[in-house]
Amino acid sequence: MSRIPRNSVAVIGGGGNVGAAIAFSLIAKSVPAEVLIVDVAEKAAKGQALDISDASFMMPGTCRQATFQEAGQSDVIIITAGARQQPGEPRSNLIDRNYKIIKSIMDSLKPIKSTAKILVVSNPVDVLTDIAQKVSGLPREQVIGSGTYLDSGRLRNALSNITGVSPTSIHAYMLGEHGDNQFTGWSSARIGGHPLLEHPKMHDIELDSIYTGIQRKAYEIIDAKGSTYYGIGICAATIAEALLNNTSQVFPVTNYIEKYGCYMSWPAAIGSDGVEQSFDVKLNDEEAKKLETAVHAIREACEKYE
């Protein structure tokens, strides 16, 4: 009898660094899913699938190379294909190159299973999620992006180092856009139900330096080793797990916010139907202005590709 799990997660672009890190994280996190690696670079896809399958012998998940058609019938389809940033290059620069790739991938996946959830990771993620939703024809709540989950994790790590509280007990988000227009939601940040900025260890902290550190981190990693993948690997695998297991966890993912009329990085509860609910985040005047800038940038980019 085969031990192939019932649920499947396809990773498109799985021959590359980010896709492989996500596939490996799914296996290492004990997600009971069949992980399908798909890439136009078939040899790279084969290599990653064989390597990751070696890690699966003691885990409930399995991993193999697959076709676009098989991926279209998966429960969760993760898109990591595309160009990545060069040292010093902003994420927004990737749009022209990655727009064509996303469009051709969506066409190759068709027919897409009507209950599938698509998780876009390729950059610029907020704009590409909008494009993926339009081209796939799936409902908006079934198409999301990894948004500012990774950036928010970096924020929580930084705040943990200052306050001495576990990052998992700090509720604080990077918001708006996964890119140069993201901002920190300081006024909504909480530790133990208390406003974060009232924590005694936060009183003498230069908030801008925390923000700058988070913004700079991806550039720093890319400059040092060419690309970032472990952090996003675990983030995307955790979102996929929420989609498969119907956990209703809240993540700052790219989701469609009716109030602002666009996809953006904003907290939402994620379950097996995709986005279950999004939340109204308390903002001060300065944060509201930054949100306006992020929304404007995302909407302008999306309109160009309609």
The residues that touch ligand 6V0, with contacts defined as CB under 6 A, are: 12-13, 15-19, 39-41, 44, 80-85, 94, 98, 101, 104-105, 121-123, 125, 146, 150, 178, 227-229, 232
Q: How far is the CB of 194 from ligand 6V0 (least distance, A)?
A: 29
The residue from 171, 178, 194, 296 that is catalytic is: 178
Task: Name which of 101 and 112 has its Cβ closer to ligand 6V0.
Answer: 101
Structure tokens at 140: 């908006």
Nearer to ligand 6V0, 220 or 286 (CB): 220
- Return phi, psi of residue 164, to 5°: 80, 10
Tell me how far, at minimum, the Cβ of 119 lies from ligand 6V0, in Å: 10
* CB of 30 vs ligand 6V0, minimal distance in Å: 23
Is 178 catalytic? The answer is yes
Closest CA to 11 of 75, 56, 107, 59: 75
Question: Cβ closer to ligand 6V0: 25 or 163?
Answer: 25
52/191 with CB nearer ligand 6V0: 52
107 or 273: CB nearest ligand 6V0? 107
Residues in contact with 265: Cβ distance below 8 Å, sequence separation at least 6, in sequence order: 125, 126, 145, 147, 148, 174, 175, 176, 177, 178, 182, 252, 253, 254
Using DSSP's 3-state secondary structure scheme, residue 154 falls into: helix
Q: For the CB of residue 21, give the shortest distance to ligand 6V0 in the complex, in Å.
A: 8
Q: How far, in Å, CA of 209 to CA of 255, rounded?
A: 28
Question: For residue 237, how many C-alpha atoms fall within 13 Å in the half-sphere facing its CB?
Answer: 26
The CB-side HSE value for 249 (13 A sphere, CA atoms) comes to 16
Q: How far is the CB of 91 from ligand 6V0 (least distance, A)?
A: 6
- Between the two ends of the chain, the Cα-to-Cα distance in Å is 48
Rounded Cα distance, 282 and 267, in Å: 12
Active site (catalytic) residues: 178
